[in-house]
């Protein structure tokens, strides 16, 4: 599941056989490979009919609406300050347990990849 802007700026979202559910009022995006829903509730209902795990891929408003429902976060922290106007919602105040972690870096940035499971 992802918002329209994320879908339009992520050209490879269809490359590996994913079945995206795009949250938008633009019905013209619907095709045999792309499903469209008007809101998060409808998108979740549609995604539950598809095989595999439901992955939330942004943007900010969709993360904010679905984070309270999530039982797992696959999180990438980029260790730098970057300008922007869209952010992942604060998650540290909720009860999460880290189940996996890996540090990495490239020529420009240092990263931490983590898997967090909600403690219910």
Same domain, 56 and 84: no
Please tell me the distance from the alpha carbon of residue 115 to that of residue 109, in angstroms, as a whole number.
Answer: 20
Distance of alpha carbon 111 from the chain centroid: 18
Mean pLDDT of 32-52: 96
Final residue of a structural domain among 69, 86, 110: 69
Q: Which CATH number belongs to the domain containing residue 60 in this structure?
A: 3.40.430.10
Containing structural domain, residue 61:
1-69
- Could you tell me the pLDDT band of residue 17, with boundaries at 50, 70 and 90? confident
- pLDDT for 120 equals 87
Kindly report the number of other CB atoms within 10 A of residue 66's CB atom. Answer: 16
Count of domains observed in the chain: 2
pTM of the model: 0.88
Token readout for 66 is 């679905």
Final residue of a structural domain among 45, 69, 93: 69
47-56 long-range contacts, CB within 8 A, separation 24+: 47/1, 47/21, 50/19, 50/21, 54/1, 55/1, 56/1, 56/2
Same domain, 10 and 58: yes
Mean pLDDT of 17-23: 92
pLDDT in tens, 3-12: 999 999 998 8
Same domain, 61 and 91: no
Same domain, 76 and 63: no
Among 110, 20, 103, residue whose Cα is nearest residue 56: 20
pLDDT in tens, 71-118: 999 999 999 998 988 889 999 988 999 999 999 999 999 999 999 999
- pLDDT for 117 equals 97
């Amino acid at each position: 599941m992802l918002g329209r802007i994320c879908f339009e700026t992520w050209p490879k979202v269809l490359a590996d056989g994913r079945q995206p559910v795009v949250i938008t009022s633009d019905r013209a995006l619907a095709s045999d490979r792309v499903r469209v829903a008007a809101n998060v509730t409808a998108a979740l209902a549609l995604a539950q009919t598809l095989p595999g795990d439901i992955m939330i891929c942004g943007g900010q408003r969709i993360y904010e609406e679905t984070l309270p429902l999530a039982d797992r976060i696959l999180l990438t922290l980029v260790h730098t300050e970057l300008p922007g106007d869209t952010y992942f919602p604060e998650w540290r105040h909720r009860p999460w347990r880290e189940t996996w972690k890996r540090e990495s870096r490239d020529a420009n940035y240092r990263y931490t990849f983590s898997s967090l499971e909600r403690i219910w």
